[in-house]
Chain A
């Protein structure tokens, strides 16, 4: 048995933790913002690599985004992914989740045969959690969303997923699409060997192309009418800054614990709730 063909979807997102590239109105200046691998995708990556390690196979990372997104595919290679595809095309600009899922669907078909597709639960710049299920719909796959434990037994997938107020254990055959919750195991550190190998590769662009392929809509035969703004049934019509939620926070900092606690007790009326004797 040659193992499983494992796909993992990853996205580059602006780092909201860093102040760089955040406009005064709170929007993100994507050109200036620090970029990072979507934190939720780290769990998907871990699930993909763990599956490969446990049951054999190859991991293919797929991403869609502007050319710099190749950085996260390099990062994925360092972690032990075997190859990557970056779908990059200006005609994808302003894609909503439906158009994104369509473009990724065509990319997945282009990338070849698969048994399992892992996706992050959601992205930190969109927060919709919709792309995974929409891709599953296009591919007519069963899906396991909010997955926090994943195994394969006798050729069947066994998984645990989060549900309202509890958990559910499910099983299914393959192919299947799985979105991985952030209660899954965190991504392990990359090995020195992996990082070193990719560093060497980065110097030899021609060789790197064997591992990371940048593709466009024409190559994958996507209908451009279904991509980008044109293929998006929703638009962002307006954005408005929200004030600090729940009012502004009075910060107590830099004093001794004794003083800060005194301040809190004085200013919050917390004494009202004390146990009365």
Chain B
């Protein structure tokens, strides 16, 4: 699209890119729920540590909340050099405007703006990061799956004011076009460079309880405007009893089951396997076919079983992020073009109501056969 802009003449003076080579550190904005650091924050500390080391800078963090216990200490163990803590009753629950205020004030108070600022692509990170980026008129790359830092030479003729060699450019890579492409998004001419990263992608450091770091309190000065929105109630359904994350086999059902009764089949199929559990897509959880604890995906659980059988699930990205690391994925879907066939290992194109009962039947026969083999084998 850029070719539509008519190239302009090169200015007499080449722009001075040194103003875009800030000395600042790498900042991670922490996320925690009920006193528990979110896994994505630990992942960000891992990724942020690599970036900071590459530039020989510090990895700093900010934690906002109320009565946050030993979270700052834990962040140091996971790689942070310095943790800033904003503790205030009004920050107990995440709310856009108070968190925005604290973060903006904090960033403005730093002697040097961060070189790079990272948040998780969670409902919280995706709510907060864009506002911060808009406030500072800086770039923000969403949902990154890879991050790196290095020199970048920008040669675009379209905007000659940006031509130059940028020494520490954040290379942010994100999937695009329905996951078919990896796009490399760059923006070294504005600071801080910002990105959110997808949960479950970056690798956390091993905690080191001997690691030293600094914990610093930051002031919280909210304005009346910041409390325009009130949180009336927060409901988190923490998983109890269902060991989805420990199961070897997960049989998951989606909207393609058609009715709540479909889950009876799913349960029967799951019962064929040792150490199995039942999963579900969000759509059927929302419909009340099965409790929330079974939900797999972005707003549910992330699982890595040895075998995942998806029955009547379309494979939306929000579902996929929760299960794509499974060892073997078998998908049953009647639509040969369903997205799930793009990442499943085995696909059966067919109706759940024909395939699942057949599978149960054959597996039961197989079990009998296997027992016979085992018996034969011992002789």
In contact, B1 and A94 (Cβ under 8 angstroms):
yes
In contact, B38 and A164 (Cβ under 8 angstroms):
yes
Most buried by A among B152, B249, B300: B249
- Give the contact stretch, choosing among A56-64, A132-140, A191-199, A214-222: A132-140
Chain A positions near chain B (C-beta within 8 angstroms): 16-17, 25-28, 90-91, 93-94, 96-98, 101, 124-134, 136-138, 140, 142-146, 158, 161-173, 176, 183, 228-230, 232-242, 244-247, 249-254, 257-258, 260-262, 264-265, 267-271, 273-277
In contact, B272 and A164 (Cβ under 8 angstroms):
no
With a CB–CB cut-off of 8 A, which chain A residues contact B134? 98, 101, 133-134, 137-138
Question: Which among A16, A143, A240, A265 is the interface contact of B96 at CB below 8 angstroms?
Answer: A143
Q: Would you give the shortest CB distance from B270 to chain A, in whole angstroms?
A: 10
Assuming the contacts A133-B127, A253-B348, A271-B366, asked whether A142 and B328 have C-beta atoms less than 8 A apart, the reply is: no
With a CB–CB cut-off of 8 A, which chain B residues contact A131? 130
Q: How far is the CA of A270 from the CA of B139 in the complex (A)?
A: 47
With a CB–CB cut-off of 8 A, which chain A residues contact B282? 183
Q: Is the interface of B mostly helix, strand, loop or mixed?
A: mixed
In contact, A98 and B123 (Cβ under 8 angstroms):
no
Question: Which among B225, B232, B238, B274 is the interface contact of A273 at CB below 8 angstroms?
Answer: B274
With a CB–CB cut-off of 8 A, which chain B residues contact A270? 307, 328, 330, 363
Q: How far is the CA of A236 from the CA of B179 in the complex (A)?
A: 15
- Give the contact stretch, choosing among B62-70, B252-260, B351-359: B351-359
Q: In chain B between 315 and 351, which residues have their CB closer than 8 angstroms to a CB of chain A?
A: 324, 328-331, 336-337, 341-350
In contact, B299 and A94 (Cβ under 8 angstroms):
no
In contact, B344 and A246 (Cβ under 8 angstroms):
yes
Is B2 located at the chain interface by the 8 A CB criterion? yes
With a CB–CB cut-off of 8 A, which chain B residues contact A229? 2, 5, 158-159
With a CB–CB cut-off of 8 A, which chain B residues contact A265? 359, 362-363, 366
Top-6 shortest CB links A-B: A233-B139, A166-B236, A234-B139, A234-B187, A253-B349, A128-B142
Question: Which among A93, A97, A232, A253 is the interface contact of B130 at CB below 8 angstroms?
Answer: A97
Q: How far is the CA of A250 from the CA of B343 in the complex (A)?
A: 10
Q: Which residue of A lies closest to B369 (CB)?
A: A271
Q: Mark B282-297, 1 if CB is under 8 A from A, else 0.
A: 1100100000100000
In contact, B176 and A97 (Cβ under 8 angstroms):
no
Q: Which residue of A lies closest to B341 (CB)?
A: A249
What are 25 A-B pairs at a CB distance below 8 A?
A26-B180, A97-B130, A97-B142, A133-B131, A133-B134, A134-B133, A142-B97, A142-B228, A164-B123, A164-B299, A168-B234, A170-B230, A170-B232, A176-B229, A183-B283, A228-B5, A246-B344, A251-B336, A253-B349, A253-B350, A257-B350, A261-B358, A261-B362, A271-B370, A274-B367
Assuming the contacts A134-B130, A238-B184, asked whether A252 and B346 have C-beta atoms less than 8 A apart, the reply is: yes
With a CB–CB cut-off of 8 A, which chain B residues contact A253? 336, 347-350
Q: Which residue of B lies closest to A132 (CB)?
A: B130
With a CB–CB cut-off of 8 A, which chain A residues contact B31? 164
With a CB–CB cut-off of 8 A, which chain B residues contact A101? 130, 134
Question: Which among A165, A233, A260 is the interface contact of B237 at CB below 8 angstroms?
Answer: A165
In contact, A97 and B140 (Cβ under 8 angstroms):
yes
In contact, A249 and B346 (Cβ under 8 angstroms):
yes
Is B4 located at the chain interface by the 8 A CB criterion? yes
Q: Would you give the shortest CB distance from B327 to chain A, in whole angstroms?
A: 10
